[in-house]
Amino acid sequence: MTPETEQTRVQFRPCSGCQKMNRRFKFAWLVALPLSACALFTWAVVPSPPEAPDDSWPYYGHDAGGMRYSALTQINRDNVASLKVAWTFHTGDISETTGRRKRSGFETTPLLVDETLYLTTAFNRIVALDPGTGQQRWAYDPKIDLDGDYGDGLINRGVATWLDSTRANDKPCHRRIFESTQDARLVAVDGATGAPCTDFGKAGQVSLRDVLQYHPGWYHMTSPPAIIDDLVVVGSAINDNHRVDMARGVVRGYGARTGALRWSWDPLPANRSAAAAKGRGPTWRSGAGNAWSIMVVDQERDLLFVPTGSASPDYYGGLRPGDDKWSNSVVALRGKTGELVWGFQLVHHDLWDFDSASPPLLATLHLHGKDVPVVIQGNKSGLLYVLNRDTGKPIFPVEERPVPQSDVPGEVASPTQPFPLKPPPLAPHTLSADQAWGPTPENRDWCRNYISHLRNEGIFTPPSVQGTLMVPGIIGGMTWSGCAFDPTRSILVTNTNNLVAIARLIPREKYNDRSSRTEGGEYGDQLGAPYGLYRRFIQSPSNFPCSPPPWGMLYALDMNEGKIRWQVPLGSLGDFGVEHRQQIPPGSISLGGPIVTAGGLVFIAGTVDCFLRAFDIESGKELWKAKLPACGNATPMTYRLGGTDKQYLVIAAGGHPKITEEELGDSLVAFALP
């Protein structure tokens, strides 16, 4: 990448997965915290009896289907404005970019089971806390290689937990805590002590590196595993745009007791084997299609729902002809066997890095007088699909529409893409040069001129040698932040981004001449393909985006009707500029998701102005906000503590690894009523 020379330049930099922006400004300090928290594990605690389901938070999305809904009501619309900080825990795990080491982020969503909070740090340490005080009970350090080339930076989004019903309460590893690490290991520790479960794999660990084309760092893990019956299931995060033949994006199920591999499923091999069997031209080449986001589960149906990302390389598909199934999809796998039950592809032959980054969400809708179990799946295109949970067939109609075709030699874009008729798109799909924005006439004219030179035919315009306007850009629409669903109101809440980007393919000979790389942005090698890649978000000299504000929105949808109920700008980008700050409209990009509660509230952070906010779920009115010690690029959670009957709201606040020179942090912050 070519660095900017101006110290005040803001740059949104695409990156692996969906944490894809970069902010530049001076930051003042970085607190050095004690290393004592890095001990392997400390004192033990005997688990208390499990809470009632509504009191705890046993899955990343609260329930196995990922609704992110809590039935707690102590904190509600009438009193939320009184929330105060109850306690703060510091992990001590912070890293700026030094040498090979990546910046850290703190994106965990803790679990609460057995009256204990379990979370992960930026360095993959598992920590157990007292949920009433934030005091550490124990910590386990898997000692990952902190200098790995992890595309998303040093992050982890949490753990999974499993209760071994065959083991007595007072026996080791009755409660197991699972984590998948950046350096590709699956770890199991005892929920009571943090000691490794020695009967799992080899001394409590299973290597996840046994995949074709494995490369250290390029193949890593950022999301928590999924639990279905007695299996622990993992996907992977695979770095973008390095080369054609990247690691295979396999999903694998391991026995929760022994760590033995039970099954594996690869989203792409059918295309590869079909091409070879027919003998028509060279063997199909690609990798990835990986499940790097959150998976969800329907235990009753024995179904695991997996969102998949793009095939490699992201922006040139001439060596992977066809639809590339099952990349860019949501698929249902049989839990016991890993067999594909059904799949629905959201993007055919992806050329835009439009991953299915948003986790699937399982809900029941009341349609035509009947209760219908569904899977709700969004992606970076800003389109939201509602599918029958048993069959994968759309509940609301989806039509294949013609889309622009590629003018790049060797590329054959899909002639159509699937568009749901409802809900409507949650992000703009077109932007003309005349619609470009700037805080001053000079900045607006700069944006208009820049966009006028790009190929620009709306969403799904293929990348080009000329340079293509990507609308939306590659942090959405909807990204890994995901959705939350209130089952009592049938309201779905999601945050979206509105930033446009440029994608330009550079012929290999020119790309290899590094002296020609004069424009600030990201360059992707795409080795093995005839083109390298240049991409960046489009900003004027003011440092603000060229797309019109608001640049971030919070939506609520009536899912029985498939209609938008309300929409409000979320947060502010005002701090990105100094000279024009007073005239910047509301709306910030956000990377961190919402939750909803029976108290009539939506809680969400994720914005670059570093607030945690509460909204009225009925109207979208902002009712409360609190400044965090660093930006909260994570999904919050809530629980009620037995004994005190107090409800807590918890968020990880540590900044973002791709927003460079922003103040980083290591704070887990809990709020409660006075």
Kindly state whether residue 27 falls inside one of the protein's structural domains.
no
102, 154 contact by CB (below 8 A): yes
pLDDT band at 273 (very low <50, low <70, confident <90, very high): low
b or e along 512-544 (b: 16 or more beta carbons within 10 Å of the residue's beta carbon)? eeeeebeebbbbbebebbbbbbbbbbbbbebbb
Q: Pick the residue with more confidence: 123 or 276?
A: 123
Kindly state whether residue 652 falls inside one of the protein's structural domains.
yes
Which of 353, 355, 486, 609 is the catalytic position? 353
Judged against a pLDDT cut of 80, whether residue 500 lies above it is answered with: yes
pLDDT value of position 642: 84
**Residue 405 DSSP class:** -
190, 139 contact by CB (below 8 A): no
Rounded Cα–Cα distance for residues 418 and 474 (Å): 18
Positions of E strands within 368-442: 370-378, 384-388, 398-402, 416-420
Kindly state whether residue 355 falls inside one of the protein's structural domains.
yes
pLDDT band at 173 (very low <50, low <70, confident <90, very high): very high
Q: Encode pLDDT of 605-664 as tens digits.
A: 999 999 999 999 999 999 999 999 999 999 999 999 988 889 999 999 999 988 876 789
Task: Please give the average per-residue pLDDT across 371-376, as a whole number.
Answer: 98
Q: Encode pLDDT of 285-329 as tens digits.
A: 788 999 999 999 999 999 999 999 999 999 999 999 999 999 999
CB atoms within 10 A of CB 628: 22
pLDDT value of position 574: 84
Task: Please give the average per-residue pLDDT across 278-284, as a whole number.
Answer: 62
20, 475 contact by CB (below 8 A): yes
Q: Encode pLDDT of 11-31 as tens digits.
A: 333 333 333 333 433 222 222
Kindly state whether residue 15 falls inside one of the protein's structural domains.
no
Q: Encode pLDDT of 428-469 as tens digits.
A: 999 999 999 999 999 999 999 999 999 999 999 999 999 999
pTM above 0.75, yes or no: yes
**How buried is 129 (Cβ within 10 angstroms: 0-12 exposed, 13-18 middle, 19+ buried)?**
buried
Kindly state whether residue 9 falls inside one of the protein's structural domains.
no
Per-chain mean pLDDT for the chain: 90
Kindly state whether residue 539 falls inside one of the protein's structural domains.
yes
pLDDT band at 580 (very low <50, low <70, confident <90, very high): low
Residue 133 C-beta-side C-alpha neighbours within 13 Å: 4
Rounded Cα–Cα distance for residues 153 and 100 (Å): 11
Kindly state whether residue 3 falls inside one of the protein's structural domains.
no
pLDDT value of position 7: 27
pLDDT value of position 283: 66
Rounded Cα–Cα distance for residues 135 and 142 (Å): 21
Rounded Cα–Cα distance for residues 605 and 186 (Å): 29
- With a pLDDT cut of 70, the percent of the chain lying above it is 88
What are residue 81's phi and psi, to 5 degrees?
-65, -15
**Total of domains in the chain:** 1
Judged against a pLDDT cut of 60, whether residue 476 lies above it is answered with: yes
Which residues face 607 on adjacent strands?
Answer: 590
Kindly state whether residue 13 falls inside one of the protein's structural domains.
no
360 cis-preceded (ω within 30 degrees of 0): no
pLDDT value of position 644: 85
- 40-44, 439-443, 549-553, 647-651: which range is least confident on average? 40-44
Rounded Cα–Cα distance for residues 471 and 478 (Å): 13
pLDDT value of position 347: 98
- Report the amino acid identity of residue 381: S
128, 139 contact by CB (below 8 A): yes
Q: Encode pLDDT of 213-248 as tens digits.
A: 899 999 999 999 999 999 999 999 999 999 999 999
CATH code of the domain in which 208 resides: 2.140.10.10
pLDDT value of position 54: 61
Q: Between the CA of residue 92 and those of 106, 122, 147, 637, 656, what are the distances in Å? A: 11, 9, 17, 21, 16
pLDDT band at 34 (very low <50, low <70, confident <90, very high): very low
Residue 196 belongs to what domain range?
Answer: 35-672
Judged against a pLDDT cut of 90, whether residue 382 lies above it is answered with: yes
Question: What SS3 state is found at 446?
Answer: helix
Active site residue 445: no
Judged against a pLDDT cut of 70, whether residue 207 lies above it is answered with: yes
Q: Nearest to residue 155, comparing CAs of 165, 144, 166?
A: 144
Task: Please give the average per-residue pLDDT across 351-361, as a whole number.
Answer: 97
213, 246 contact by CB (below 8 A): yes
